[in-house]
Amino acid sequence: MDPKIEILLEKKLIGTRITMSLVNNRTGELWQNFMPRRNEIKKNIGTEFYSVRNYGHLYFENFNPNNTFEKFAAIEVSDFNIVPDGMETYILVSGLYANFHYIGLNTDTKIFEYIYGTWIPNSIYILDNGPHFEILGDKCQNNDPNSEEEIWIPIKLKK
């Protein structure tokens, strides 16, 4: 599976955030808290949801599944003029990304094992320090083997 290499333009997001690790995965809790409140967000752009992870610059260098990172559940908006109580703004900065079109169960980690363990080491790219995220559109269905999503990984050329 080869990704499309794309330059992402800056996006404004509003949503909720939680700190977690791979060992203490709180993704279900994050989305259970966000989804009932999603309609409070105004000036949406599109209908997609964004699942954004900020790992920090040393996360992959000293990888340990107990290391924590921040995860956001969000929607793209045109501006930050109205932010619902208890939600946060987030700017998804522009940058170079590998965009993988994934079809399969959202609980199957094999795609990430492939991206980080096979594709990146064998490509002309290395990981960059930007956020990693998924765009969850109309074809994304929880626990469905035919579910579709886009997986965006920040990259830069190897030196």
pTM: 0.92
Phi, psi of 113 (to 5 degrees): -60, -40
Give the model's pLDDT for residue 47. Answer: 93
Say which residues have a Cβ less than 8 Å from residue 13's Cβ, sequence separation at least 6: 50, 52, 72, 74, 75, 76, 77, 89, 90, 91, 92
State the residue range of the domain holding 86: 4-157
| pLDDT-flagged residues of the chain (< 50) | none
At residue 38, φ and ψ (nearest 5 deg) are -60, -30
Give the per-residue pLDDT at 138.
Answer: 85
The one-letter amino acid code at 86 reads G
Mean pLDDT of the chain: 93
Q: Count Cβ atoms within 10 A of the Cβ of residue 18 and give its class: 0-12 exposed, 13-18 middle, 19 or more buried.
A: middle
Residue 61, pLDDT score: 82
Q: Are 153 and 129 in contact (CB under 8 A)?
A: no
Partner residues linked to 91 by β-bridges: 12
Domain count, the chain: 1
pLDDT at position 13 is 98
Q: What span, in angstroms and rounded, lies between the C-alpha atoms of 125 and 23?
A: 28
- Predicted confidence at residue 159, as pLDDT, reads 85
- The pLDDT of residue 57 is 79
> What's the chain's length in residues?
159
* CATH number for 103: 3.20.80.10
pLDDT recorded at residue 95: 96
